């Protein structure tokens, strides 16, 4: 779901990370769908070099994927123009880098996190560049190549980093509604849909084969070869080289045809971790610690077997294996088999399931409950206790209910109910239908989950943008205070400085928390 405020927020992120020019290119791609270089130049009204450089930056940071598509009825010989597809999700992931680093620091160690940090900072790097960076940071003293290699291997084994996808996949002729070159019509919803299917196709085409995606071996050789033929290891330079041929640049960039393998952070794996974490925390709040421990152990054991992030059910695991996994964790060591079984029961797995005695937890349900909780919390705070009750009734019912019936079932005053319903409807939290029976008009209401989720998500993007803008505003306002050397601050000045510090922490941590909720609706 790419909503209007989603676009504004992601453009804001790009602006603050890479500046206005890059953001302008990014915005055009977000609003208009995939474009060729020529069209981008025309729409952005920037010169060709500016657009090219912006694209290079976006590609380097995995925010844009180039591809070429077969044109419908096109002549076979004609070269198809390269198009650029913006990856909305990857732009938002930029906010989550601290979370990704924390995961690696927890699951592996600080050294691995440091390696990952380099990749997050630079978008894509060769193995050689990663090692170079590690050496320069450690300033030569204890940076032995084998140690860094070991950390690198750990990251790859745990799938936290992967090989970059194909630079320019070729998309075979698609069905008419998916044709990317088609001028995008007025209907925004359709645009999103079309883009989705195309985005998926491009990403699928570009994806590295599963077997190669996390393999290091052959890469080492190529890398050493590459090193010999290379003059410097400047990152941007390398990115330019690589993208040189995609952009069909005319001789400005000398590029080397040698195949180099680039690595990048595997966002998918990080999202999987974050999703699991969200599920476990939700279960802990709703059920108890026991259920959370069991779920955590089960998800940890089956993480490698998950095929996509949005798994509806966890990968089936036998009771014995689950018990074994639970025993491995410190918190689960005191649990008995019966206790584990009871927790699985709480998690919605009756003990007599299937013949092979394997358990699979309904993760989609857990996510849905968390989503409901988030929305209900907004409703409670915005529309009060009565509104909360009315909303929950409709959300649970899942079908149309009449005003008076709602009033009766929720114990809300008959005269207040229509007002509450109307307010909720006006803010797009409810769907309303009119029904006329014998000239008397009845109003029927219901919660339309998918429309509601999109609306809430858009509000969240809006809120995230606001948090970020306010943060910038506060820092702007007190610029001179920030520029003062620490020693010169005394009395009220010092107080103000401390206040500003808390404001910053408050806003940033709120944004991180809000981002968890955004992921809940968008990525999980």
Partner 1 sequence: MSRLQGPSSLKRKRPDSNSPSGSLTEHERILYDVIRSKQDMGIWTRDLKREANLPDNVVAKSLKSLLTKKLIKEVVNIQNKGRKHLMAAEFEPSKEISGGDWYVDGSLDTEFIDFLKDQFVKIIYKQRVATLEGILDVIRRSGILKVEITTQQIQEIVRVLVLDDKVMEVKSNGMGEFDSIPVGKVCFKCTNKAGLKGEPKVGAMASIPCGVCPRISYCTPDGIISPSTCVYYTKWLDF
Q: Which residues of the shown chain bind partner 1 in the complex (CB under 8 A)?
A: 8, 285-288, 342, 345, 350, 373-378, 380-382, 385, 388-389, 392-393, 396, 408-415, 427, 456, 459-460, 462-463, 465-467, 469-470, 473-474, 499, 502-503, 506-507, 510, 513-514, 516-517
Supply the minimum distance, in Å, between the C-beta of residue 332 and partner 1.
Answer: 20
Supply the minimum distance, in Å, between the C-beta of residue 507 and partner 1.
Answer: 8
Supply the minimum distance, in Å, between the C-beta of residue 466 and partner 1.
Answer: 4
Supply the minimum distance, in Å, between the C-beta of residue 3 and partner 1.
Answer: 13
Residue number, 120 or 424, with CB nearest to partner 1: 424
Supply the minimum distance, in Å, between the C-beta of residue 309 and partner 1.
Answer: 20
Determine contact, residues 377/401, Cβ cutoff 8 Å: no
DSSP 3-state helix, strand, coil percentages of the chain (rounded to 5)? 65, 10, 25
Which residue is it, tokens 């925004």?
A: 188
Q: Which long-range contacts (CB under 8 A, 24 or more apart) does 7-12 make?
A: 7/31, 7/88, 8/461, 8/462, 8/465, 9/92, 9/461, 9/462, 9/464, 9/465, 9/468, 10/88, 10/91, 10/92, 12/465, 12/468, 12/469
Supply the minimum distance, in Å, between the C-beta of residue 411 and partner 1.
Answer: 5
Q: Is 123 exposed, middle or buried (0-12, 13-18, 19+ CB in 10 A)?
A: buried
Of residues 252, 233, 309, 305, the one with CA closest to residue 278: 309
Residue number, 66 or 464, with CB nearest to partner 1: 464
Residue number, 15 or 174, with CB nearest to partner 1: 15
Supply the minimum distance, in Å, between the C-beta of residue 408 and partner 1.
Answer: 7
Q: DSSP secondary structure string, 115-142?
A: HHHHHHHHS-EEHHHHHHHHHHHTTTTS
Residue 478: strand pairing partners: none
Which residue is it, tokens 């918190």?
A: 331
CA–CA dist 498, 231 (Å, integer): 48
Supply the minimum distance, in Å, between the C-beta of residue 515 and partner 1.
Answer: 8
Residue number, 39 or 397, with CB nearest to partner 1: 397
Supply the minimum distance, in Å, between the C-beta of residue 513 and partner 1.
Answer: 4
Supply the minimum distance, in Å, between the C-beta of residue 174 and partner 1.
Answer: 37
Residue number, 55 or 460, with CB nearest to partner 1: 460
Determine contact, residues 117/265, Cβ cutoff 8 Å: no
CA–CA dist 172, 152 (Å, integer): 36
Of residues 319, 332, 349, 322, the one with CA closest to residue 290: 332
Residue number, 80 or 510, with CB nearest to partner 1: 510
Residue number, 153 or 513, with CB nearest to partner 1: 513
Q: DSSP secondary structure string, 199-266?
A: HHHHHHHHSPPHHHHT--HHHHHHHHHHHHH-S---HHHHHHHHHHTTTT--SSS----S---EEEE-
Supply the minimum distance, in Å, between the C-beta of residue 86 and partner 1.
Answer: 21
**Region of residue 33 (phi > 0: left; psi between -120 and 50: alpha; otherwise: beta):** left
Residue 83: strand pairing partners: 36, 67
Sign of torsion over alpha carbons 193, 195, 198, 204: negative
CA–CA dist 340, 313 (Å, integer): 19
Residue number, 227 or 516, with CB nearest to partner 1: 516
Supply the minimum distance, in Å, between the C-beta of residue 403 and partner 1.
Answer: 12
Sign of torsion over alpha carbons 424, 426, 432, 434: positive
Of residues 90, 32, 37, the one with CA closest to residue 206: 90
CB atoms closer than 10 angstroms to residue 84: 24
Residue number, 380 or 444, with CB nearest to partner 1: 380
Residue number, 9 or 67, with CB nearest to partner 1: 9
Residue number, 208 or 378, with CB nearest to partner 1: 378
Residue number, 208 or 353, with CB nearest to partner 1: 353
Determine contact, residues 165/212, Cβ cutoff 8 Å: no
Supply the minimum distance, in Å, between the C-beta of residue 380 and partner 1.
Answer: 7
Residue number, 302 or 407, with CB nearest to partner 1: 407
């Amino acid at each position: 779901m790419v909503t209007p405020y989603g676009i504004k927020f992601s453009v804001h992120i790009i602006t603050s990370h890479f500046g206005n020019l890059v953001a302008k290119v990014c915005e055009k791609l977000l609003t208009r769908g995939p474009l060729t270089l020529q069209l981008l130049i025309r729409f952005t009204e920037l010169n060709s070099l500016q657009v090219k450089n912006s694209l290079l930056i976006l590609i380097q940071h995995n925010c844009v994927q180039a591809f070429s598509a077969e044109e419908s009825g096109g002549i076979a010989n004609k070269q198809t123009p390269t198009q650029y597809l913006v990856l909305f999700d990857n732009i938002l992931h930029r906010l989550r880098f601290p979370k990704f680093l924390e995961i690696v620091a927890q699951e592996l160690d600080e050294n691995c996190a440091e390696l990952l940090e380099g990749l997050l900072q630079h978008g894509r790097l060769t193995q050689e560049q990663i090692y170079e960076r590690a050496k320069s940071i450690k300033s030569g003293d204890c940076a032995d190549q084998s140690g860094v290699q070991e950390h690198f291997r750990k990251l790859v084994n745990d799938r936290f980093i992967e090989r970059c996808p194909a630079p320019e996949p070729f998309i075979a002729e698609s069905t008419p509604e998916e044709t990317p070159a088609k001028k995008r019509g007025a209907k925004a919803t359709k645009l999103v849909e079309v883009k989705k299917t195309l985005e998926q196709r491009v990403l699928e085409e570009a994806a590295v084969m599963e077997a190669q995606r996390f393999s290091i071996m052959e890469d080492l050789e190529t890398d050493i070869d590459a090193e010999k033929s290379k003059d410097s290891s400047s990152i941007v330079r390398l990115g330019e080289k690589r993208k040189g041929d995609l952009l069909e640049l005319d001789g400005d960039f000398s590029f080397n045809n040698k195949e180099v393998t680039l690595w990048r952070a595997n966002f998918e794996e990080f999202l999987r971790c974050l999703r699991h974490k969200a599920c476990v925390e939700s279960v802990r709040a709703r059920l108890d610690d026991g259920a959370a421990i069991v779920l955590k152990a089960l998800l940890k054991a089956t993480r490698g077997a998950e095929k996509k992030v949005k798994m509806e059910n966890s990968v089936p695991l036998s009771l014995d294996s689950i018990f074994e996994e639970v025993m491995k964790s410190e918190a689960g060591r005191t649990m008995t088999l019966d206790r584990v079984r009871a927790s699985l029961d709480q998690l919605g797995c009756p003990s007599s399931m299937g013949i092979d005695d394997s358990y699979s937890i309904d993760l989609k349900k857990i996510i849905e409950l968390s989503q409901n909780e988030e929305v209900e919390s907004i409703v409670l705070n915005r529309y009060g206790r009565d509104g909360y009750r009315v909303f929950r009734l409709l959300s649970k019912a899942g079908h149309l209910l009449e005003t008076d019936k709602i009033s009766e079932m929720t114990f809300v005053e008959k005269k207040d109910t229509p007002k509450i319903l109307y307010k909720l409807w006006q803010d797009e939290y409810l769907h309303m239908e009119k029904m006329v029976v014998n000239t008397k008009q009845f109003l029927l209401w219901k919660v339309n989950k998918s429309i509601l989720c999109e609306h809430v998500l858009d509000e969240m993007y809006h809120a995230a943008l606001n948090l970020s803008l306010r943060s910038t505003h506060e820092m702007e306002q007190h610029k001179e205070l920030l520029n003062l050397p620490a020693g010169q601050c005394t009395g009220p000045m010092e107080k103000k400085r401390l206040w500003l510090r808390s404001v910053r922490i408050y806003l940033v941590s709120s944004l991180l928390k809000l981002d968890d909720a955004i992921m809940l609706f968008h990525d999980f």
